[in-house]
Amino acid sequence: MRFKRNIQAILIVIVIVIFLLGISEMLARILTQLHTLSYYKPIELIVQHEQKEELRLSNVFSGAESDFEYDPVLFWKPKKNSGIFNEVGIRGLSIVSSRDSATSSCTILAYGDSNTLGAYQGGYYDTPWPDELFRLLRQHISSIRVLNMGVHGYTSYQGLQKFYQDITVFHPTFVIVAFGWNDASPDMGIPDKQFNTYLSPLISPLNKSKLFQVLKYYSDIFVNKYLRKPMLNGPRVSFEDFKQNLINFIQLANKNHVSVILLTRPHADFTYANIENWRIHVPEYNKIIHEVASDYNVPLIDFEKLFLEQYSNELIDDCHFTQKGHLIAANELYSYFQQQNIVCK
């Protein structure tokens, strides 16, 4: 009898706890919608160096209005069938099956950040450079596809993790790698490689709870204010880690008989920029790209030099192409393919 009473008591406690959590979750959703409470978000606009910066502040994307969602490995990723993203979560037309590569004798994967994606501060261009490249190559190779793997805010760390996931799904012939901008951006005290923990996959289901997001938001404020020691911001990806990420890209590609093309990251002229502006370090990341390309005998197309010396007016801001800039970039890649007389498998 005592055992039965104990079981009943435990069940009552469980029911009460579930009921209270349900009520709390409902209140959290209502109060966040009314903007009475704030909650944890992955990317926010904050003022730094007198400009608005899009920085990684957390690893939880929330809200039905967002085209992105939380990912325990990538931090955030595009939602499938949301906005400009198709059923496999990449920009472009629908792919009948992400695992069906039989219809394409040549697949090119283009990895990068918002400039590869075709974004700018205000929207998206109709045809980013991967789309323009596809249009040019399609004139000569009917069974080809160029898949745009660019994502807002991605670093070489995130791009590499995505490449690990994609290579056995899309079976590429070529991989184009274009990083270096977000790698240099401030890390908020935690670099990308340390941002995930072994508990991330376990915590992932909780990230869908608005109550959890609210508690996380306010607990972080408390921890940062009273418990955590001040930390100097470094880059999201250090020079050493950036180099290793590129090397890992190349080694994984070589292991799977995939050819790699490296691109330097185009940017505005920062010669007279404030020394505290993190953007002044982007050229140093480009130097590393040159070093890796030379050390591993990998082709490199120097977009940095091209857009600084010849097409500086084709950057709409300090890091994004104009629509004409996307066409110029695509033509440069197309010329490389033609000069090398590259034949798809």
Angstrom distance (rounded) from CA 123 to CA 326: 15
**CA 51, 228, 193, 146: dihedral to nearest 10 degrees?**
-30
Any idea which residue has 């109550």 for tokens?
A: 211
Residues 25 and 172 in one domain: no
Residues 312 and 167 in one domain: yes
Asked if residue 248 has pLDDT above 80, the reply is yes
Asked if residue 231 has pLDDT above 70, the reply is no
Angle at 290 between CA 74 and CA 232, to 5 degrees: 50
Q: Mind listing the pLDDT tens digit for each residue in 86-142? A: 999 999 988 864 444 445 679 999 999 999 999 988 889 999 999 999 999 999 888
Residues 138 and 264 in one domain: yes
CATH code of the domain in which 163 resides: 3.40.50.1110
Angstrom distance (rounded) from CA 80 to CA 266: 29
Residue 310 inside a domain? The answer is yes
Which residues constitute the domain of residue 15?
1-37
Residue 298 inside a domain? The answer is yes
Residues 110 and 179 in one domain: yes
What's this model's pTM, rounded to 2 decimal places?
Answer: 0.79
Q: Mind listing the pLDDT tens digit for each residue in 182-193? A: 999 988 778 899
Residue 180 inside a domain? The answer is yes
Across the range 77-86, mean pLDDT stands at 94
Across the range 226-241, mean pLDDT stands at 79
Residues 180 and 267 in one domain: yes
Residues 167 and 275 in one domain: yes
Least confident of 66-75, 151-160, 302-311, 323-332: 66-75
Residue 204 inside a domain? The answer is no
CB 163 within 8 A of CB 191: no
Average confidence score pLDDT of the chain: 85
**Pairing between strand 300-301 and 259-263?**
parallel
Better-scored residue on pLDDT, 334 or 218: 334
Residues 20 and 150 in one domain: no
Residue 65 inside a domain? The answer is no
**Count of the separate structural domains present in the chain:** 2
Residue 130 inside a domain? The answer is yes
Residues 183 and 282 in one domain: yes
Asked if residue 287 has pLDDT above 90, the reply is yes
Residue 81 inside a domain? The answer is no
What is the pLDDT, as a whole number, of residue 52? 42
* Residue ranges with strand state E in the chain: 43-48, 51-56, 68-71, 75-78, 106-112, 119-120, 123-124, 144-148, 174-178, 259-263, 300-301
